[in-house]
Chain A
Amino acid sequence: MSAPILECRGVTMRFGGLVAIDGADLAVETGEITGLIGPNGAGKTTLFTVISGFQRPSAGRVLFEGTDVTALPAHRRAAAGIARTFQIVQPFAGLDVRENITVGAYLRHAARTEALAHAEAVAERVGLGPMLDRPAAALTIAGRKRLELARALATEPRLLLLDEVLAGLNPSEIRDMIPVIRRIRDEGVTILIVEHVMQAVMQLCDRVHVLAQGRMIAAGRPAEIAADPGVIEAYLGHGAAARMRAHGVAPSEAAVPAAAGGADA
């Protein structure tokens, strides 16, 4: 197997007295979809801001394709090939969908006509083709999530960080998005995805990392993670795994709906 495209080594992030991430290690293998899950407030988004360069970690290093990018500002990391979406969507509200995506496309296409053409192609890929001339502010939640994805994709990243792009979507919208994400991976983009919708994590991810209260507590194949007693405890509280065993519930069955419920919180 080739070297991981992204590595976090001992990343720690403090906000005053609060330790949001505590010495987290993470490796994302090239060409895979890696999931990052964990209860609310675990530090997932914070880890994303560190990886994408929006915040400097208090300690630890971030390596992208083998080079240390810890000191690189956010726009340079985008140029290096790391793109992110925002959990709370950040559209350019005064612009239309085409213009929104074109800003991303300009990163690698200096000429206007090329950038516009690329933006349109990306819009088609995520299913925003019919909405190119709509104002971004007029999109539904699902539309805005797609726009986040499209803009990031337009920068032609090698690593795509998706922060809860399925949150707030209804089941049929989620069903529509899953193949879109999978196709992006198939086209050669490595993906790190934060997601509360367990069903999607199970279907999409090759590997899952679990963050709880700032610490990495588990990593492995989705099925292994779903059965891990430590993970269940992190989501449901101390002693949950033992109680479930006592009631004869297979942990993997219980963890899925319970954790999925976390998305509504």
Chain B
Amino acid sequence: MTRLAIRRLACGPWLSLAAAALLLAVLPALFASSAALNFLGFVMVIALAALGWNLLAGYGGQFSFGHAAFFGMGAYAMALLQVRLGLNPWLALPVAVALGGLTGLATGFLSFRAGLRGSYFALVTLAFAEVFRILANAMAFTGGAAGVLVPLRIGAAQFQFADKATFYWVALGFVIAAMALTRLVERSRFGAQLVAVRENEEAARALGVDTVRVKLKAITLSGAVTAAAGCLYAQKSLYLDANIAFGPWISVEALLAPIIGGLGTVFGPLAGTFLLLGLGEGTKTLLATLTGSAVPGADLVLFGALLILAVAFAPRGIMGVVAGAAARIGGAR
């Protein structure tokens, strides 16, 4: 193989990412309605949270059921740093993201030190998220059950965008950055070691992998990325309460999207979020027109069923199905 061919192959993983970024950037031109732009912005927020979850679970095999802890930490830090300390949101953002990473490191330190794996790890993360939810709901500093309002101050300097398309582009920037980070991880020593931990911890240790350290690194990154999603959420809705920011819904969506999209892939979380939220909106609208009123929970019934079906029939998610189809077409030629 020539040098050039090798280099071209090495660029492939980045080219696909750039192509996806371009494609996504023109979406607002095609779907310009306010509802559509709102939907797209929300997809980006959830996709970012899902990308964070995917780093830890998709690559590292550590299934968290409590990523709301990181999402909420990011969201609350973003809001409270502005409201209580008067910080500019662009300054609050890195602090909030760092706090999310620290929360990840702390929960990871406690769990992985105790040797928790599998179901135990899932349960502990869930419990951490619940503790945060109860605390945020009870403390005066966080606004208690009433929640926090971020004062309306529209302007790019305040990280508030009157134009929904602009918010979408900003959020898309975060998503693409997180996907690039994922790609970097995938192609690094750390990524290879992380995947080794997922596949077989004993064997990884025999090859010199410090498994606890690798897992801690992953959960820190994961917490930071998901916290960034929380920050975006805070700036999008300008209102938070404990059940929103630390609620089980976000833990569930952050894990559903990558599982349905394709665990441990760069595009899986985003693809899964589009499918999931798209189907959710579709079902809600369909049922509302059929029955004449909204049917609460219908979209979530579908999500739960999709989760079971994905585990049963498509363990590699949409990306796996796509890859399988591509291979079949390629093979048929």
Please report A residues at the B interface, Cβ cutoff 8 Å: 52, 54, 73-76, 78-79, 83-84, 86, 90-95, 99, 102-104, 106-107, 110, 112, 115, 151-152, 154-155
Contacts and interface: CB of A to CB of B under 8 A. Distances in A.
Interface in B87-116: none
A73 B196 CA distance: 18
A103 B202 contact: no
A90 B208 contact: no
Contacts of A115: 189, 192
A188 to B, nearest CB: 19
B209 interface: yes
A143 B209 CA distance: 23
Given A90-B202, A92-B203, A110 B196 contact: no
Contact of B207 (A54, A104, A112): A104
B209 A103 contact: yes
B171 to A, nearest CB: 30
A38 B204 CA distance: 28
Contact of B196 (A54, A74, A103, A155): A103
Interface of B is mostly: helix
Interface size class of B (residues with CB under 8 A): 20 to 34
Nearest to A108: B208
Nearest to B199: A92
Contacts of A78: 205-208
Given A90-B200, A93-B199, A103 B192 contact: yes
Contacts of B203: 86, 90-92, 151
Given A92-B196, A103-B193, A103-B196, A79 B208 contact: yes
B192 A75 contact: no
Given A86-B202, A92-B199, A95-B195, A75 B189 contact: no
A112 B195 CA distance: 15
Contacts of A102: 192
B97 to A, nearest CB: 26
B187 interface: yes
A65 B328 CA distance: 54
A83 B206 CA distance: 7
A106 B193 contact: yes
Across the A-B interface, the 5 shortest Cβ-Cβ residue pairs: A78-B208, A92-B199, A90-B203, A107-B208, A74-B205
Contacts of A107: 207-208
A97 to B, nearest CB: 13
Contacts of A112: 187-189
Contacts of B200: 90-93
Contacts of B207: 78, 83, 103-104, 107, 151-152, 154-155
9 contacts: A75-B209, A75-B210, A75-B211, A90-B206, A93-B199, A94-B199, A95-B195, A104-B207, A112-B187
Given A112-B189, A152-B207, 17 more contacts: A54-B205, A54-B206, A73-B205, A78-B205, A84-B206, A86-B206, A90-B202, A90-B206, A92-B196, A92-B199, A92-B203, A99-B192, A103-B196, A110-B189, A112-B188, A152-B206, A154-B207
Most buried by A among B193, B198, B207, B209: B207
Most buried by B among A74, A79, A84, A152: A74
Contacts of A104: 207-208
Contacts of A92: 195-196, 199-200, 203-204
A155 B203 CA distance: 12
A155 B206 CA distance: 9
Contact of B205 (A75, A151, A154): A75
Nearest to B201: A90
B318 to A, nearest CB: 18
Nearest to A78: B208
Contact of B192 (A90, A106, A155): A106
B206 A106 contact: no
A104 B193 CA distance: 9
A52 B206 contact: yes
Contacts of A99: 192, 195
A217 B204 CA distance: 34
A74 B195 contact: no
A75 B208 contact: yes
Contacts of A84: 206
Contacts of A93: 199-200
A86 B189 CA distance: 23
B327 to A, nearest CB: 13
A76 B203 CA distance: 14
